[in-house]
Amino acid sequence: MSTQSYAPIRHRGFISSLEGLRAIASLGVLATHVAFQTSVDPATHIGAVLARFDFFVAVFFALSAFVLWRRRSKQRMRVYYFKRCARIMPAYLATVIAVLLFIPTGPWLANITMTQIYWPHGLMAGLTHMWSLCVEVAFYLVVPLLAWLLGRFDRPVRIVLIAGGAALSLVWPWIPLVESSIDQGLPNMQIWPPAYACWFAVGMIAAELEGIRFPRLPSFVWVFLALIVAWIAGQEWFGPLGLVHPSPGEFNLRILAGTVFAALLVVPYALGTPSRILDSEWMKTLGTWSYSIFLWHLPVLTIVFPLLGVPLFSGYFLLVFAATVLITIPVAAISYTFIEEPIMNWTRRVTR
């Protein structure tokens, strides 16, 4: 273990290791979906970890919160909302429309408008992972309000208020209407944005802590600890896996475990822990494509099974994973090159 602990960190601009971490997060989400659809046994050690790689959604939330919170006072509200919309919607709509061409009878309006979690049975095949984007966009909407409310306080008070708000969000699944929403034929309110405040709080607090002295442990230590958290959360006694609807207590355990998982991976790198792997050019390139990797991987996975002649839930994890990655990455590169990048360049020009 390194003894050079507590090196000072200056406020930086672009942090390349976080771009690499986005790549890992996108592939982690892909891996957990492949593991589920190939019936990897969660009773095994690797199966338990893969089952809880859905915590990489928490990593995405924390990364977004970190980036947006550290920039919160640098642009006008109108410009902020315009940039967020331009960043998220074009590639999202391209993915949704592509899926709707093959499944035209799904709840298309809910998915086009990114409101699918607010409608009963709003999620559709090939796009079920988009629930997390609905949650993330809700966070984007409230960032200016949070910045205005918390901006009058000093940093220590802001940190306490952010942590307190996150803790208060744990009440959400216990609200009677939320707890009984599915039984009443309502949308699953358990996955509505307030439930995930803890995951966003990780990134916000990391942004508040930027510039402080932070213990420099080797990179593998944080990764190992995060994998331990995933393994624990993947045990049967910890709570249900797969599509089983959790009780409020089980849901909060999952939220808290995801919070720790995200904190172990995001906070060290956000505050300056170096990583040769995350800082490598190929990881930064994958990180650049990570949003499109996330968008397209599930539609690709849907067609990989018939392409390979492999039935759903019949095994072949490595084969299906490899095929999904090999198809998704080129599709994501095309999506970034012809949709995301041109829109971002145009947005920069018109908002100068």
Which pLDDT does position 12 carry in this prediction?
A: 60
pLDDT-derived band at 44, boundaries 50, 70, 90: very high
Which pLDDT does position 8 carry in this prediction?
A: 34
Which pLDDT does position 211 carry in this prediction?
A: 81
- 136-158: average pLDDT: 95
Alpha carbon distance 99, 233 (integer Å):
32
Which pLDDT does position 10 carry in this prediction?
A: 43
- 141-154: average pLDDT: 94
- 65, 139 Cβ separation under 8 angstroms: yes
* Domain ranges across the chain: 16-20+45-282
Q: Residue 78: pLDDT above 80?
A: yes
For 218-274, how does the pLDDT look when each residue is reduced to its tens digit (9 = 90+)? Answer: 888 999 999 999 999 999 999 888 888 999 999 999 999 999 999 999 999 999 888
pLDDT > 70: what percent of the chain? 96
Q: What is the mean pLDDT of the chain?
A: 93
Q: Residue 104: pLDDT above 90?
A: no
Residues in Cβ contact with 101 at an 8 Å cutoff, skipping those fewer than 6 apart: none
Which pLDDT does position 319 carry in this prediction?
A: 98
- 138-162: average pLDDT: 95
Q: Residue 2: pLDDT above 60?
A: no
Q: Residue 34: pLDDT above 60?
A: yes
Weakest-pLDDT range from 19-28, 127-136, 189-198, 212-221: 212-221
Between 4 and 179, name the one with better pLDDT. Answer: 179
Q: Residue 6: pLDDT above 70?
A: no
- 101, 303 Cβ separation under 8 angstroms: no
- 91-116: average pLDDT: 93
Q: Residue 73: pLDDT above 90?
A: no
For 289-313, how does the pLDDT look when each residue is reduced to its tens digit (9 = 90+)? Answer: 999 999 999 999 999 999 999 999 9
- 110-114: average pLDDT: 96
For 269-295, how does the pLDDT look when each residue is reduced to its tens digit (9 = 90+)? Answer: 999 888 899 999 999 999 999 999 999
- 123-140: average pLDDT: 96
Q: Residue 1: pLDDT above 50?
A: no
- 71-87: average pLDDT: 87
Between CA 21 and CA 30, with CA 25 as vertex, the angle to 5 degrees is: 150
Its pTM stands at 0.94
- 93-108: average pLDDT: 91
**Cβ neighbourhood burial of 37 (10 Å; 0-12, 13-18, 19+):** buried
